[in-house]
Amino acid sequence: MRGFLILLILLGFPVLDIFSLVRLSEIIGGWWLAWVLASALLGWLLIRGEGMRMPLKLVGALQSGHSLSFALLDSFRTILAGLLLIFPGVASDLLAVILLLLPRPRAQTREAAPAANEEIIIEGEWRRENEQHKIGPH
């Protein structure tokens, strides 16, 4: 059942894209070709730009002590949006715009949590309530 649902989604998305592109061509006429070419060019520029920016993001994350996964996730999201823009269709373009408008994840520094081999020191004052020491049996 799960495989059938995945297959239905994978086959339904291109049908939705083609249907939305046909509806767009009915609404705006011959300008749909300009829409498809402009979105494909924008997608190509996004992928190309992210390909050049990704090594800089990774080096910056390493130097600042941030997690590499946030830099990779951000780059992956931009590349996926670029791929969706390259595919012709209104639904894929809308999904790409949603991906690009999602808020960026906030990177956490490695110094936020102590490492497993570091000793945790808690400073404070203390005193014993029961100061009686019994040395032997009484």
What is the per-residue pLDDT across 22-31, written as a single tens digit (0 to 9) for each? Answer: 888 888 888 8
66 strand-pairing partners: 109
Quick one: pLDDT band at residue 115, thresholds 50, 70, 90?
low
Amino acid in the structure at residue 107: A
Reduce the DSSP state of residue 105 to 3 states and report it. Answer: coil
The pLDDT score that the predictor gives to residue 73 is 87
Inform me whether the pLDDT recorded for 61 exceeds 70: yes
DSSP annotation string for 43-85:
HHHHHHHHHHHHHHHHHHHHHHTB-HHHHHHHHHHHHHHHHHH
* Residue whose entry in the numeric block shows the structure tokens 């992210």: 50
Quick one: pLDDT band at residue 70, thresholds 50, 70, 90?
confident
Report the distance separating Cα 138 and Cα 135, nearest Å: 9
Report the distance separating Cα 12 and Cα 15, nearest Å: 5
